[in-house]
Amino acid sequence: MSLVRVHNFSISLDGFGAGEPQTEDTPMGHAGHRLHEWMTATHAWQHTGGSRGVDNLYTQDTDTGIGAEIMGAGKYGYPGWHDDADWTGWWGSNPPFHTPVFVLTHHPRPPLEMDGGTTFHFIDAAPAEALAAAREAAGDADVRIGGGATVIRDFMAAGLIDYLHAVVVPIVLGHGSRLWDGLEGQEADYQIESICSPSGVTHLTFTRRGL
Amino acid sequence: MSLVRVHNFSISLDGFGAGEPQTEDTPMGHAGHRLHEWMTATHAWQHTGGSRGVDNLYTQDTDTGIGAEIMGAGKYGYPGWHDDADWTGWWGSNPPFHTPVFVLTHHPRPPLEMDGGTTFHFIDAAPAEALAAAREAAGDADVRIGGGATVIRDFMAAGLIDYLHAVVVPIVLGHGSRLWDGLEGQEADYQIESICSPSGVTHLTFTRRGL
């Protein structure tokens, strides 16, 4: 069975995966770039130069063996994008996914084929149903849950996540979108590892027991 | 100037420093012993045997150079202890502080001298005022803020903490008493280090810049 994986999901010390408000100009709200500086500093992100330590290992593992992604409406666009017929996501004509991507939205629209192998599918579906569609599209490969926090939380609460890589960044955001709410006791099903990077972030992995 | 320090303050991944409800039988609420197993497993705690790695280093640093402690009413006793004239804390006749201890309470009572050098002083005071009293009692030595979460948060928000050692335990508690609420942006004043222990916890230290 293919796995359901979360990668590089960065959170503040107080557990927020994004700040607020999210707008077209501020996709991460008041968090700005602070949650992802550890990642954009890596060689895997920069291609020329960049850090080649443990942060890079985690970053380059993001796409390995992934055949489809599921993301929330808030990752695909700013609030209200569904009223904008021309909106095709934040990533330009060649998005970095290169697989089918299932966007969870209450406003489905026809599939959107982009350059480079990415096709966005817009579905209004519960986690298990969305996962079934993504698994079929992924074939033997794994499915990545791309976030945001609410989507990861919903899949985790439904028992559908096999591997969760979260990255704790030492800032206190105070408000935004929380990762851990509603997940009391979920750690019992996972083997957990914490790896502190010299960059200051802590890589936290939850791996389902018995995998 | 002597320092104001927090040691071994253990929190869950979602930032709770204690569970709930707190009662005479369950001082940590539904968290039970889970937040402190890393500490009670150390040589510094057990005296005979126990782990001698990085968890032990942090544990044995707790009392070094400390001349007084400030604690909240919820660390001193169960809710309602102030109606119990015989309550002398959780720790028996010889509490582990061996210094003056200032208990923040809206129900002051006369000082209580215990064996081994601990004297409890019960004061109804704001953070700065309590700290002035504790500093005077501590002489040249440092003052420890003993918790719980609310007290640490109040002192941190007032800019009074020089060194904060928090320990992130990989469990999700879901509810209880949160450490980080109201502290947005406080990290800017501190140098922060994360040290992952083989025991699974992460030691997080905030050291005021320029100390």
- Judged by CB atoms closer than 8 Å, whether chains meet at A184 and B173 is answered as yes
**Residue B78 structural domain:** 4-208
Percent over 90 (pLDDT), chain B: 96
- Interval A161-171: pLDDT, tens: 999 999 999 99
pLDDT number for residue A1 = 78
Which residues of chain B lie closer than 8 angstroms to A182, CB-CB? 174
Contacts of B158 by beta carbon, 8 Å cutoff, 6+ apart:
B126, B127, B128
- Say if CB B96 and CB B88 are below 8 A apart: no
Q: Does residue A113 lie within any of the structural domains? A: yes
Averaged pLDDT of chain B = 96
Contacts of A85 by beta carbon, 8 Å cutoff, 6+ apart:
none
Measure the CA–CA gap between A39 and A166, rounded to whole angstroms: 12
pLDDT number for residue A46 = 96
pLDDT number for residue A204 = 98
Task: Give the residue from B54, B172, B197 with the most A CB atoms within 10 Å of its CB, the best one to mutate.
Answer: B172
What is the per-residue DSSP string for B101-150? EEEE-SS----EE-GGG-EEEEE---HHHHHHHHHHHHTTSEEEE---HH
What number is the average pLDDT over the span B9-16? 98
pLDDT number for residue B189 = 97
Q: What is the CA radius of gyration of chain B?
A: 16
Among the listed residues A50, A51, A45, the one whose alpha carbon sits nearest the alpha carbon of residue A8 = A45
Q: Which residue of A has its CA nearest to B195?
A: A196
Which residues of chain B lie closer than 8 angstroms to A168, CB-CB? 168, 194, 202
pLDDT(A141) > 90: yes
Task: Give the residue from B178, B179, B180 with the most A CB atoms within 10 Å of its CB, the best one to mutate.
Answer: B180
Percent over 70 (pLDDT), chain A: 100
- Judged by CB atoms closer than 8 Å, whether chains meet at B196 and A200 is answered as no
- Interval A78-133: pLDDT, tens: 999 999 999 999 999 999 999 999 999 999 999 999 999 999 999 999 999 999 99
Q: Does residue A186 lie within any of the structural domains? A: yes
A211 or A207: which leads in pLDDT:
A207
- Judged by CB atoms closer than 8 Å, whether chains meet at A200 and B187 is answered as no
What number is the average pLDDT over the span B115-137? 98
| Range in A15-29, B88-102, B124-138 with the lowest mean pLDDT | A15-29
Q: Does residue A88 lie within any of the structural domains? A: no
Which residues of chain A lie closer than 8 angstroms to B195, CB-CB? 196
Q: What is the CA radius of gyration of chain A?
A: 16
- Say if CB B160 and CB B125 are below 8 A apart: no
Q: Does residue A87 lie within any of the structural domains? A: no
- Interval B149-185: pLDDT, tens: 999 999 999 999 999 999 999 999 999 999 999 999 9
pLDDT(B86) > 90: yes
Give the number of domains in chain B.
1
- Judged by CB atoms closer than 8 Å, whether chains meet at B200 and A183 is answered as no
- Judged by CB atoms closer than 8 Å, whether chains meet at B174 and A183 is answered as yes
- Interval A120-133: pLDDT, tens: 999 999 999 999 99
What is the per-residue DSSP string for B1-52? ---EEEEEEEEETT-EEE-S---SS-TTGGGTTTTTHHHHTBHHHHSSS-B-
Q: Which residue of B has its CA nearest to A172?
A: B184
Which residues of chain B lie closer than 8 angstroms to A34, CB-CB? none
Strand ranges across the sheet with B119-123: B112-113, B119-123, B100-104, B66-72, B142-145, B4-12, B163-169, B202-208, B190-196
- Interval A41-81: pLDDT, tens: 999 999 999 999 999 999 999 999 999 999 999 999 999 99
Measure the CA–CA gap between A114 and A99, rounded to whole angstroms: 10
- Say if CB B67 and CB B144 are below 8 A apart: no
- Interval B40-84: pLDDT, tens: 999 999 999 999 999 999 999 999 999 999 999 999 999 999 999
Domain CATH code at residue B173:
3.40.430.10
B113 or A211: which leads in pLDDT:
B113
- Judged by CB atoms closer than 8 Å, whether chains meet at B204 and A13 is answered as yes
Contacts of A122 by beta carbon, 8 Å cutoff, 6+ apart:
A103, A105, A107, A108, A109, A110, A111, A112
pLDDT number for residue A173 = 97
pLDDT number for residue A83 = 96
What number is the average pLDDT over the span B5-12? 98
Task: Give the residue from A183, A187, A195 with the most B CB atoms within 10 Å of its CB, the best one to mutate.
Answer: A187
Beta strands in A114-154 (DSSP E): 119-123, 142-145
pLDDT(A192) > 90: yes
pLDDT number for residue B12 = 98
Q: Which residue of A has its CA nearest to B15?
A: A14
Which residues of chain B lie closer than 8 angstroms to A55, CB-CB? none
| Local structure of residue A147 (DSSP, 8 states) | -
pLDDT number for residue B1 = 78
What number is the average pLDDT over the span A13-33? 92
Q: Which residue has the tokens 């992802």?
A: A36
